[in-house]
Amino acid sequence: TPKNIPPVIYTPPRHAITEIKRTEAGAKALINNDYNEFGRLMYDSHESLRDDFEVSCEELDQLVELARSVDGVYGSRMTGGGFGGCTVTLVKKSSVEKCIDTIKKGYHGTASFYEFEPSNGTCSIDLKRD
């Protein structure tokens, strides 16, 4: 922390700056199919959201830690506006059921799960008909 700047002023911008760096590093990790690195960046992002930006909560932290305890989970972090809500977790396909089971058994609340597979993202589709 720079001298003479209170953490309450310094840490939110630090999150924004380090999140940009994590996003750039994450893009490189995905291009290189380095899911371990991408997962580490997800955890780092969550910790920064929790510690610097102060938008996490006990429930989100618990979900991330439960996911972290499962072999085959690359990374997890809160998503959305914070203060409750949702996490996104990158999991090997073979470990999805174990991850869900671990969270259901360990989480003190009720969790819902939505499974998605990565894709190349958005693209233009020609809808013209002959």
Per-residue pLDDT tens over the stretch 71-80: 999 999 999 8
Q: Which residues of 69-83 are buried (b: 16+ CB within 10 A; e: fewer)?
A: ebeebbbbbbbeebe
Assess if residue 86 is contained within a domain: yes
Assess if residue 1 is contained within a domain: no
Do 62 and 102 form a contact (C-beta atoms < 8 A)? no
Assess if residue 17 is contained within a domain: yes
Assess if residue 74 is contained within a domain: yes
Which residues 6+ apart lie within 8 Å of 64 measured at CB? 43, 46, 76, 77, 78, 87, 89
**Mean of all residue pLDDT scores within the chain:** 92
Angle at 20 between CA 18 and CA 21, to 5 degrees: 65
Range list of H helices, the chain: 7-31, 35-51, 58-68, 96-106
Assess if residue 117 is contained within a domain: no
Assess if residue 64 is contained within a domain: yes
pTM for the whole thing? 0.87
The CATH number of whichever domain residue 27 belongs to comes to 3.30.70.890
Assess if residue 125 is contained within a domain: no
26 residue type, one letter: G
The count of domains in the chain is 1
**Average pLDDT value for residue range 68-94:** 93
What domain range includes position 29? 7-106
H or E segment at 56?
Answer: none
Q: Could you give the 3-state DSSP secondary structure of residue 76?
A: strand
Assess if residue 129 is contained within a domain: no
